[in-house]
């Protein structure tokens, strides 16, 4: 970060609408926790161990930042070009892997369980982002990004159209939630889980779509555009307890790179400027009031005056 990050209030935390004032802390600034990744993605907070895990996809590894010491080390290498990560409702790590084209769960003893790698006998593309609903079901996006080149996995042929899937929390059955999106990417539920948000990252311009979750809790309907990103590039995002969307953002300019914050109605109210494009975020810390931001080469954080949704 520049010397500006030493000033309070931090000029990198930009108010686009007065409603953002209530969400920022004047004496909190953006902190750079790590530099040295090729493409940072998929941060997830482990409060029981006080650390953040995140993916460095092209380097085929997952990194760990320790809150108590500030130390960073390798958590897993090789990682099968891991991308998105989250925790299930029992606290286990759930990971999307590009190289193996699968979604896995890391058990308490460190062993790996494959949750999904095929649909109707055909290989998944490259699972990207993943979230877990309160009923234990696991929802993930499956674009082709990891098989489009040799940079984030292995270049291979696609066998399935890009889609969003759901793994039933009881039976493990895999079902398609949506298969009409151009490059489905980041996912998040509203705080009451009545809506599912999906980033459509191959739409021009990119969009964040909102869907009503069906009464069965396993389907979605009434899709609509919540946010037209314009020149921005939403990737991964998380939702706070008030329903605001904290979105990884940017495309190589000072005005866009960082995290953009939207109301539940899709109105831009704030921006956290970073010196590089941000791919994904998570909330952590003891009170879930510290935003961790996985940006191109690094990991950043900012204390905010709200809390991330539990389980998000």
Q: Is the pLDDT of residue 247 over 90?
A: yes
pLDDT, residue 53, reads: 98
pLDDT, residue 7, reads: 86
Binding residue ranges: 41, 128, 185, 235
> What is the dotted CATH code of the domain comprising 80-230?
2.120.10.30
How many other C-beta atoms can be found within 10 angstroms of the C-beta atom of residue 216? 6
pLDDT, residue 191, reads: 98
Model confidence over 145-194: pLDDT tens digits? 999 999 999 999 999 999 999 999 999 999 999 999 999 999 999 999 99
Model confidence over 11-49: pLDDT tens digits? 999 999 999 999 999 999 999 999 999 999 999 999 999
Q: Count CA atoms closer than 13 A to 12's CA, side-chain side.
A: 26
Which residue do the tokens 């931090």 mark? 10
- The larger pLDDT score, comparing residue 47 to residue 253, is at 47
Which residue do the tokens 């389980």 mark? 311
Sorting pLDDT into bands at 50, 70 and 90, what band is 3?
very low
Alpha carbons 90 and 104: distance in angstroms, whole number: 14
Q: How is residue 67 written in tokens?
A: 């809150």
Sorting pLDDT into bands at 50, 70 and 90, what band is 5?
low
Model confidence over 136-156: pLDDT tens digits? 999 999 999 999 999 999 999
Q: Is the pLDDT of residue 4 over 90?
A: no
Q: What percent of the chain lies above the pLDDT cut of 90?
A: 95
The domain locations on the chain are 1-50+233-312, 80-230
Q: Is the pLDDT of residue 216 over 60?
A: yes
Average pLDDT over residues 274-293: 97
Q: Provide the mean pLDDT of the chain.
A: 96
Binding residue ranges for substrate: 128
| Catalytic center residues | 235
Average pLDDT over residues 237-264: 95
Residues in the chain: 312
Sorting pLDDT into bands at 50, 70 and 90, what band is 312?
low
Q: Is the pLDDT of residue 1 over 50?
A: no
Q: Is the pLDDT of residue 208 over 60?
A: yes
CB 214 within 8 A of CB 233: no
pLDDT, residue 2, reads: 42
Which residue do the tokens 């790996």 mark? 112
Model confidence over 86-137: pLDDT tens digits? 999 999 999 999 999 999 999 999 999 999 999 999 999 999 999 999 999 9
Report the candidate in 27, 3, 23, 4 with the shortest Cα–Cα distance to residue 15: 23
């Amino acid at each position: 970060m520049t010397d500006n990050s030493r000033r309070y209030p931090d000029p990198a935390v930009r108010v686009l609408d007065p409603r953002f004032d209530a969400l920022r802390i004047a004496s909190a600034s953006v902190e750079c926790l790590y530099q040295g990744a090729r493409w940072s993605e998929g941060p997830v907070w482990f409060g029981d161990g006080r650390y953040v895990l995140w993916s460095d996809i092209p380097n085929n590894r997952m990194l760990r930042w320790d809150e108590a010491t500030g130390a960073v080390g390798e958590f897993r290498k090789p990682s099968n070009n891991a991308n998105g990560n989250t925790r299930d409702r029992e606290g286990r790590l759930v990971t999307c892997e590009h190289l193996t084209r699968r979604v896995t769960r890391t058990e308490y003893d460190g062993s790996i369980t494959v949750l999904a790698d095929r649909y109707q006998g055909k290989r998944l593309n490259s699972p990207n982002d993943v979230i877990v609903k309160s009923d234990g079901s696991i929802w993930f996006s499956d674009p082709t990004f990891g098989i489009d080149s040799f940079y984030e996995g292995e270049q291979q042929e696609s066998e399935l159209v890009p889609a969003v899937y759901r793994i039933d929390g009881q039976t493990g059955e895999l079902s398609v939630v949506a298969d009409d999106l151009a490059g489905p990417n980041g996912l998040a539920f509203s705080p009451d889980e009545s809506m599912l948000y999906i980033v459509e990252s191959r739409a021009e311009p990119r969009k964040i779509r909102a869907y009503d979750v069906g009464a069965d809790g396993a389907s979605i309907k009434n899709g609509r555009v919540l946010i037209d990103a314009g020149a921005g590039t939403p990737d991964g995002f998380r939702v706070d307890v008030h329903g605001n969307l904290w979105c990884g953002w940017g495309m190589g300019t000072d005005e866009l790179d960082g995290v953009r914050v939207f109301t539940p109605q899709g109105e831009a109210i704030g921006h956290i400027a970073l010196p590089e494009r941000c791919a994904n975020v998570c909330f952590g810390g003891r009170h879930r009031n510290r935003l961790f931001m996985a940006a191109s080469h690094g990991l950043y954080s900012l204390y905010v005056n709200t809390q991330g949704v539990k389980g998000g």
